[in-house]
Amino acid sequence: MCGILAVLGCIDNSQAKRSRIIELSRRLRHRGPDWSGLHCFENCYLAHQRLAIVDPTSGDQPLYNEDKTVVVTVNGEIYNHRQLRENLKSHQFRTGSDCEVIAHLYEEHGEDFVDMLDGMFSFVLLDTHDKSFIAARDAIGITPLYMGWGLDGSVWFASEMKALSDDCERFIAFPPGHIYSSKQGGLRSWYNPPWYSEMIPSTPYDPLVLREAFEKAVVKRLMTDVPFGVLLSGGLDSSLVAAVASRHLAESEGAYQWGSQLHSFCIGLKGSPDLRAAREVADYLKTRHHEFYFTVQEGIDALEEVIYHIETYDVTTIRASTPMFLMSRKIKSLGVKMVISGEGSDEIFGGYLYFHKAPNKEEFHQETCRKIKALHLYDCLRANKATSAWGVEARVPFLDKEFINVAMSIDPEWKMIKRDQGRIEKWILRNAFDDDKKAYLPKHILYRQKEQFSDGVGYSWIDGLKDHASKHVTDAMLANASFVYPENTPTTKEAYYYRAIFEKFFPKSAARQTVPGGPSVACSTAKAVEWDAAWSKNLDPSGRAALGVHEAAYEEAPEANNVTAVSDSFKVFPDGIVGKTATVV
């Protein structure tokens, strides 16, 4: 990942202003420690902090068209850049950067080219002919982008809030799948797939079509000129990413430079479910496995730094970001700059345990749509910012545009959890890779129960966070929370503790409004809490709050009564551990 900052239409274009832009851009240097760039045209500034992944030697930014009248600063990867170049043969390219196609596509197609890009990206493009500009963000919001407005009439864009919050009167999270045009004077959607309307699809389930779409998504993300690996938690999503990457690595360009043995990474408290499961998968796939440990105290000590980097006070995001933040530091110390991760699967397939209570296929599908639309506020934000804090890029094949189109067109009846038929959460994904002739994974990994990353690293992690918060937030503080924090009022001591840290770094009202709120159980949306009356009395984002569903559900919930435990639906490890781990690849 890189860091971008653009300031357009400011009144002051003095040397002092240039120095200020450079100073603010430095706040993003953790995202791109390899090089810095700044282009100034009259009262417009485009700055860039580069993490070199493709074409490290010549792809410094900002990037230009032939005569440098079109300037672009980009954060992201364009996986189909070679195919796009084939249709731009009349253009002269200066670099091997995958992002340079953006400047030339604009020359050919004007503002209507964004849908041609296959990748993850946020960019700002300046046309110096008329000083017009556009900004755009990828379909799901894998890469972060914020937009702000200065008192002098300037418009700002930045990869992270910290680069513009001090200088903008108001700012927002730039919506995924949108483009801003200075000519048209506002935001408009460029991404409008069929599933976005939440209409119920009817395409029959074809396991081979689903499998092939995912394999293509993984292979695309092997495009790199630097060392890379996979994040392996040992659950379904991360294990499938690792399995597919292992199968195709030898034929990729990266194998010629870095070898054909895949590196895998996992973190957890000693004895945690993830570490055991990940080790087993790594042994099965014969990856070069790196196992990292952290203690609860080390995680607590990192909380302030984590919240500064991920720019949220959402409880589940902070719980999961902390171990990912610590792991990313270890990964970078090994010289690795890119990892492939498993975010998005649970949203697409209804993998969270609360989906066991979905009353019908209509509500099931609509909840998956809501979850995907909100990913940029939760898992995408976590995966991007927790890794970028240490100059590591995370790629997410489950959020490939074409794969999402295939998966979200399937009749949701096939995604419904039906234990009496042996269909557990994400059964259609598990079944697609259940190949007896050439097994991708051992059966008990393929059918491991869902475990959220913040749980899978060790249950005592969340318990330790709650205990720590209780020591610093008194009953009186929580009782008066609505007066201190009237917007998105924290309802637990843990939430209050995180909010206080967030407000220290980002005190403006606009900052707190970039963070979502509302009740949640086991990562559900507020709407899905209505599926079970007992959940409203046990609101917690941990998977263990899925009462009567999770093997280690919170014991103190008295009304977890009407769903039998699902252990008979899963194959169990010899030590009794059951579960599927969330996203870290």
For 175-205, the pLDDT digits (tens) are: 999 999 999 989 999 999 999 999 999 999 9
Comparing 563 with 104, the larger pLDDT belongs to 104
Q: Are 450 and 425 in contact (CB under 8 A)?
A: yes
For 147-171, the pLDDT digits (tens) are: 999 999 999 999 999 999 999 999 9
pLDDT band at 451 (very low <50, low <70, confident <90, very high): low
pLDDT band at 551 (very low <50, low <70, confident <90, very high): low
The span from the CA of 414 to the CA of 459, in Å, is 31
pLDDT at 546: 56
In the predicted model, what is the mean pLDDT of residues 270-287? 93
The span from the CA of 464 to the CA of 456, in Å, is 14
Active-site residue 2, yes or no? Answer: yes
pLDDT at 450: 67
Average pLDDT across the chain, whole number: 90
- Asked whether residue 334 is marked as a ligand-binding residue, the answer is no
Q: Are 33 and 51 in contact (CB under 8 A)?
A: yes
pLDDT at 273: 83
In the predicted model, what is the mean pLDDT of residues 203-211? 98
CA distances (Å), origin 153, targets 7, 164, 514: 10, 14, 21
Residue whose C-alpha is closest to residue 261's, from 288, 289, 282, 293: 288
In the predicted model, what is the mean pLDDT of residues 362-384? 97
For 225-244, the pLDDT digits (tens) are: 999 999 999 999 999 999 99
- Percentage of residues of the chain with pLDDT beyond 90: 78
- Percentage of residues of the chain with pLDDT beyond 70: 90
- Asked whether residue 98 is marked as a ligand-binding residue, the answer is yes
Whether pLDDT at 565 is above 50: no
pLDDT at 580: 33
DSSP for 67-136?
A: TS-EEEEEEEEETTHHHHHHTTTTSPP-S--GGGHHHHHHHHHTTTTGGG--EEEEEEEEETTTTEEEEE
Single-letter code of the amino acid located at 536: S
Single-letter code of the amino acid located at 557: A
For 213, residues 6+ apart whose C-beta sits below 8 A from its C-beta are: 400, 402, 403, 406, 407
Per residue, the 3-state secondary structure of 200-250, as one string, reads CCCECCCHHHHHHHHHHHHHHCCCCCCCEEEECCCCHHHHHHHHHHHHHHC
In the predicted model, what is the mean pLDDT of residues 28-35? 96
- Asked whether residue 340 is marked as a ligand-binding residue, the answer is no
Name 157's bridge partners. Answer: 6, 147
From 5-14, 341-350, 445-454, the region with the lowest mean pLDDT: 445-454
Q: Running DSSP on this structure, what letter comes out for residue 271?
A: T
Whether pLDDT at 257 is above 90: no
Beta pairing, strands 263-268 & 228-231: parallel
Single-letter code of the amino acid located at 541: P
pLDDT at 434: 96
In the predicted model, what is the mean pLDDT of residues 31-38? 96
Comparing 501 with 553, the larger pLDDT belongs to 501
Single-letter code of the amino acid located at 214: F
For 337, residues 6+ apart whose C-beta sits below 8 A from its C-beta are: 51, 52, 53, 226, 227, 228, 391, 392, 393
Helix (H, G, I), strand (E, B) or coil at 7: strand
pLDDT at 13: 86
Beta pairing, strands 450-451 & 393-395: unpaired
DSSP for 376-394?
A: GGTHHHHHHHHHHTTT-EE
Q: Catalytic one among 2, 44, 168, 380?
A: 2
Whether pLDDT at 568 is above 50: no
Tell me the two tokens of residue 289: 């496995």
- Asked whether residue 231 is marked as a ligand-binding residue, the answer is yes
pLDDT band at 572 (very low <50, low <70, confident <90, very high): very low
The span from the CA of 448 to the CA of 436, in Å, is 17
The span from the CA of 35 to the CA of 23, in Å, is 15
Q: What angle do CA 189, 192, 197 make, to 5 degrees?
A: 115
β-sheet with 3-8: strand ranges across:
35-41, 44-50, 3-8, 155-158, 146-149, 170-173
The span from the CA of 238 to the CA of 235, in Å, is 6
Per residue, the 3-state secondary structure of 299-322, as one string, reads HHHCHHHHHHHHCCCCHHHHHHHH
Residue whose C-alpha is closest to residue 73's, from 94, 45, 42, 114: 45
Single-letter code of the amino acid located at 521: V
Single-letter code of the amino acid located at 529: V
